[in-house]
Structure 1
Amino acid sequence: METRVLKYFLMVAETNNITEAARRLHLTQPTLSRQIQDLEREVGVPLFDRQSHQLHLNAAGVLFKQRAKTILELFEHAKQELVSSQDEITGVINLGCVESSVGPWLMDQVASFQAHHPAVKINLYDGDGDSLRSQLDAGLLDLAVLIEPVEAAKYNFLTLPVKEAWGVIMSKTVPEAKLKAIDQATLSKLPLTIGRRPIVRDDLAENIKLKRTDLNVKVTVNLPSVSKALLLTGRYYHLGIEGVYKQFHDDRLIFVPLVPATVSGHLLIWKKQQVLSTATTAFLQTITGSKKF
Structure 2
Amino acid sequence: MDTRVIKYFLTVAHTNNITKAAKQLHVTQPTLSRQIMDLESELGVTLFDRQQRRMELTQAGVLFQRRATTILQLLDQTEAELLRQDSDELTGTINLGCVVSSVSPYLMGLVDQFQQAHRAVRFNLFDGDGDFLRRQLDEAATELACLIEPVEAAKYNYLVLPSREQWGIILRADDPLAKKTAFTRDDLYKLPLIIPHRNIVRDEVSDVLKLDQRRLNVRASNNQPSNAIALIRTGHYYGLAIKGVADLFHDSAITFVPFTPATSIGHVLVWKKNRQLSTAAERFLHFVTDHAN
Please indicate the TM-score interval, normalised by the length of the shorter structure.
0.7 to 0.9
Question: C-alpha displacement at 1:20, in angstroms?
Answer: 4.9
SS of residue matched to 1:167: strand
Question: C-alpha displacement at 1:71, in angstroms?
Answer: 3.1
Question: C-alpha displacement at 1:42, in angstroms?
Answer: 2.1
Q: Which amino acid aligns with 1:254?
A: T
Question: C-alpha displacement at 1:275, in angstroms?
Answer: 0.8
Check conservation: 2:18, 2:55, Cα contact below 8 A.
no
Query: For structure 1, which segment, 9-18 or 87-96, has the greater mean C-alpha deviation from structure 2 after superposition?
Result: 9-18
User: Which aligned pairs between 1:1-293 and structure 2 lie closer than 5 A?
Assistant: 1-15=1-15, 20-27=20-27, 31-45=31-45, 47-48=47-48, 56-57=55-56, 59=58, 61=61, 64-80=64-80, 82=82, 84-289=85-290
Query: For structure 1, which segment, 94-103 or 181-190, has the greater mean C-alpha deviation from structure 2 after superposition?
Result: 181-190
**Identity fraction in percent:** 56
TM-score by length of 1: 0.88
How well do the aligned residues superpose, as a CA RMSD in angstroms? 2.6
Structure 2, unaligned runs of 5 or more: none
The Cα offsets for residues 211-250 of structure 1, whole Å up to 9 and x where unpaired, read as: 3334332211001221112212222111111100112222
SS of residue matched to 1:289: helix
Q: Which amino acid aligns with 2:95?
A: N
Change (3 A) 1:204 1:229: same
The Cα offsets for residues 85-142 of structure 1, whole Å up to 9 and x where unpaired, read as: 3411111111011111111111110011111111111011101111111111111110
Question: C-alpha displacement at 1:72, in angstroms?
Answer: 2.4
SS of residue matched to 1:93: strand
Question: C-alpha displacement at 1:11, in angstroms?
Answer: 2.5
CA distance in 1, matches of 2:177, 2:122: 46
CA distance in 2, matches of 1:209, 1:33: 58
Q: Which amino acid aligns with 1:182?
A: F
Check conservation: 1:47, 1:61, Cα contact below 8 A.
yes
Change (3 A) 1:19 1:196: closer
CA distance in 1, matches of 2:265, 2:147: 10
Check conservation: 1:48, 1:55, Cα contact below 8 A.
no
Q: Which amino acid aligns with 1:201?
A: R
SS of residue matched to 1:189: coil
Q: Which amino acid aligns with 1:126?
A: D
Check conservation: 1:166, 1:263, Cα contact below 8 A.
yes
Question: C-alpha displacement at 1:70, in angstroms?
Answer: 3.5
TM-score by length of 2: 0.88
CA distance in 2, matches of 1:225, 1:120: 30
